[in-house]
Amino acid sequence: MSRYVIGRIGQAVIVLWAAFTASFILLQALPGDAILIKFLNPELGLGPEQIAEIRASYGADIPLWAQYLHTVSNFLSGDFGYSVQAGVPVGDLLLASLPSTLWLATLGFLLALVVAISLSVASALLPLSWLRSSIQSLPSLFVATPVFWLGILLIQIFSFQLKLVPVISPGPWEGFVLPVLTLAIPISAPLAQVLMRNIDNVMTEPFVAVARAKGASRSWVLWKHVAKNALLPTMTIGGILFGELLAGAVVTEAVFGLNGIGGLTQRSVGHQDIAVLQALVVFSAAAFVLINLVVDLLYPVFDPRLRSREGAVA
Amino acid sequence: MTSINTASRSLVPSDAGLLESTSRYGVGTHPNDRGLPVARWLTAVMRFPIGLAASWFVMAIVVMWALFPALFTSYSGTVGVARQQLRAPSAEHWLGTDALGRDLLARVIYGAANSLSGAFVAVGVGLVIGTTLGLLAGSARGRVDGAIMRIVDVLLSIPQLLLSLSIVILLGFGTVNAAIAVGVTSIASFARLARSEVVRVRASDYVEAAFGSGGTFVRVLLRHILPNSLTSVVALAALQFGSAILAISTLGFLGYGAPPPTPEWGLLIAEGRNYIARAWWLTTVPGVVVILVVLSANRINQSFGKDRT
């Protein structure tokens, strides 16, 4: 067991290092240059020597491999570099924009979970077949919906038509309602699809037939026997969901003008702020790797069958 | 006589006849089937998947829009009509006009070329690079396999949007660049699928036989392994087409795709954003078009999947 854990952690570290290196190569090969974009502005009236001096102060003139080693050691010691555009350390930018995105993502994920579970339960239990099949087709509709369009549509309906949520200076919670809803709907789609498929699969298992034969109702079987077995495989899409959450946050924050990781990403792309983007890529790759690691390690904890198999092998 | 003939005489196939004929022989495949063509046609119509037909219809319309936009509208996609700004949908402008007096329907129609060609480029990039990588990994095995699949793991560990944004700023903004950026994000899934297919095909007897009868590595690869691994890769390409349209419109909305006067669907929604209080049609209509196209692409892909199994 412990050897398995160490091996998994080692793999995670290697993937993380490779993601760092890949993004470093990708971003350093850029034709554009944040320093030039900011300081080559004719209004500033800087001469070529002065610009060269500024480049030296940012460390942009030393050879690439030296920059690479430098950046690696800086990242390891928690120093993510300096944002050229904002003029502050990248670490500060990340810390400042993290709480808002964390709230948005957590609430959005919880709502998505509620939506997905209610959809899949409804699709298993509702009496009318046309109702069931229309609920089963909802996730594919959610998948096909552009997130940014959904946000705009919600603003249109709830703010302008129904005037339920004020557009200008909403309260801290009111301002969160529509973004959370916008984020939750596309994320609920893959969750609901996996849940529905799992429920269908488990429903064909012999123990379900036995329980039904003993006279259990469909809903009793669903809650007592199927739910736990169907929820477990859903954990495996954690990585995909994280990517969706992040992409959703970028778009949602752009639509609602929120200041978070998503807004930061959009601004740093617009200004070609390499240091910020590099930190964001490494940050999200780390989160992805961590989530998958935790899911893998938690599996035997939640599923006793896997635990005994691990024990038998060791 | 089978029940399909009784059904054909009355021209209205009864439920029982329909069930029996389809379950035993499928529609119109019975060897002694001498029913009226109309009846056979009716039976076929009743079994006809409306959703799938609608999907093909949507795709056909959109492809026609992309190829011959001028057939569908007399307005220009980029030049507005003076003093007709922000008109609501009417007989003159079916979907209304935008802030510069441009007909929205015309902009949606001319935008089809951008969105569809973008999706084709994106899927092409993913398909060609991903399949090549997967083919190499699956046939070479050993160290090459390990190295390629670790690269794929890294590609998977970076969220798609961040990856495509990194590539967009590397290549610069624009329709083609955004499409390439979207395509790169699908390389990993193509590579994984192609590799697993190649590994499966490679283990089969005819590949062994081809090697045994003196085929070189490249020759066996191109003549036997590649054609036999392609089916599910092509199905994935159809699936990626829908999500590529979505991803490209997202990049367009964020402002990294086509530059402003170009009628691109994501950009149309972004431009309509400033007028949501006055002109709901500017954002709603392009969004509905995107949803319909993506839904249709996914539905068509699903039907392919069903045929094969």
Determine the 3-state secondary structure of A148 from DSSP.
Answer: helix
Q: Are residues B66 and B33 in the same domain?
A: no
Best probe of the B interface among A20, A25, A85, A149, by most B CBs < 10 A, is A149
CA distance A54 to B267: 37
Question: Of B165, B269, B280, which is closest to A269 when you measure between CB atoms?
Answer: B165
C-alpha closest to that of A112 among A249, A284, A1, A276:
A249
- Quote the ipTM score: 0.75
Q: Are residues B98 and B37 in the same domain?
A: no
Q: What is the nearest CA distance from A71 to chain B, expressed in angstroms? A: 18
Residues of chain B in contact with residue A153, where contact means CB-CB under 8 angstroms, are 283-284, 287
In a domain, B3, yes or no: no
Beta-carbon separation of B157 and A289 below 8 A = yes
Contact B280, B214 (CB under 8 A): no
What is the total count of domains within chain A?
Answer: 1
Which pLDDT value is given to residue A312? 44
pLDDT in tens, A34-86: 566 666 666 666 666 776 777 666 666 666 677 777 777 777 777 777 776 66
In a domain, B221, yes or no: yes
Q: Are residues B67 and B42 in the same domain?
A: no
Helix, strand, coil percent content, chain A, rounded in steps of 5: 80, 0, 20
In a domain, A174, yes or no: yes
Burial of B223-259, coded b for 16+ CB within 10 Å and e otherwise, reads: ebbbebbbeebebbbbbbbbbbbbbbbbbbbbbbbbe
- What's the token pair of residue A68? 């690479």
In a domain, A70, yes or no: no
Q: Are residues B36 and B102 in the same domain?
A: no
Beta-carbon separation of A247 and B276 below 8 A = no
Q: What is the nearest CA distance from A217 to chain B, expressed in angstroms? A: 31
Q: What's chain A's length in residues? A: 314
In a domain, B154, yes or no: yes
Nearest-Cα residue of chain A relative to residue B252: A148
Beta-carbon separation of B287 and A288 below 8 A = no
Q: Are residues B290 and B193 in the same domain?
A: yes
In a domain, A6, yes or no: no
Contact A94, A268 (CB under 8 A): no
Best probe of the B interface among A152, A246, A271, by most B CBs < 10 A, is A152
Q: What's chain B's length in residues? A: 309
Which pLDDT value is given to residue A313? 43
Residues of chain A in contact with residue B277, where contact means CB-CB under 8 angstroms, are 160
In a domain, B11, yes or no: no
Q: Are residues B26 and B97 in the same domain?
A: no
Q: What is the nearest CA distance from B230 to chain A, expressed in angstroms? A: 25
Beta-carbon separation of B291 and A145 below 8 A = yes
Which residues of chain A carry a pLDDT beneath 70? 1, 28-48, 51, 55-64, 84-86, 167-172, 238-239, 306-314
Q: Are residues B200 and B133 in the same domain?
A: yes
pTM of the model: 0.75
Q: Are residues B227 and B106 in the same domain?
A: yes
pLDDT in tens, A181-195: 888 888 888 888 888
C-alpha distances in Å from residue A189, one per residue of A126, A192, A200, B28 = 19, 5, 17, 39
What is the total count of domains within chain B?
Answer: 2
Which pLDDT value is given to residue B143? 82
CATH of the domain at B67: 1.10.3720.10
CATH of the domain at A182: 1.10.3720.10
CA distance A234 to A192: 9
Domain that holds residue A272: 90-313
In a domain, A154, yes or no: yes
In a domain, B87, yes or no: no
Beta-carbon separation of B295 and A141 below 8 A = yes
Q: Are residues B201 and B98 in the same domain?
A: yes
In a domain, A12, yes or no: no
Beta-carbon separation of A288 and B158 below 8 A = yes
CA A35 to chain CA mean position, Å: 30
Which pLDDT value is given to residue B25? 42
Q: Are residues B184 and B199 in the same domain?
A: yes
Which residues of chain B carry a pLDDT beneath 50? 1-32, 307-309
What is the share, in percent, of chain A residues with pLDDT greater than 90? 0
Beta-carbon separation of B254 and A250 below 8 A = yes
Which pLDDT value is given to residue B85? 67
Q: Are residues B149 and B252 in the same domain?
A: yes
In a domain, A202, yes or no: yes
Q: What is the nearest CA distance from A313 to chain B, expressed in angstroms? A: 25
Which pLDDT value is given to residue B4? 40
Question: Of B150, B246, B280, which is closest to A146 when you measure between CB atoms?
Answer: B246
Beta-carbon separation of B253 and A251 below 8 A = yes
Burial of B45-64, coded b for 16+ CB within 10 Å and e otherwise, reads: eeeeeeeeeebeebbebbee
In a domain, B231, yes or no: yes
Nearest-Cα residue of chain A relative to residue B242: A144
In a domain, A241, yes or no: yes
Q: Are residues B135 and B175 in the same domain?
A: yes
In a domain, B190, yes or no: yes
Contact A291, A237 (CB under 8 A): no
In a domain, A198, yes or no: yes
In a domain, B117, yes or no: yes
Domain that holds residue B105: 55-79+93-308
What phi and psi, each to the nearest 5 degrees, are found at residue B214?
Answer: 90, 15
Q: What is the nearest CA distance from B34 to chain A, expressed in angstroms? A: 35
Q: What is the nearest CA distance from B210 to chain A, expressed in angstroms? A: 37
Backbone angle region of B162, left / alpha / beta, with phi > 0 → left and psi within -120 to 50 → alpha: alpha
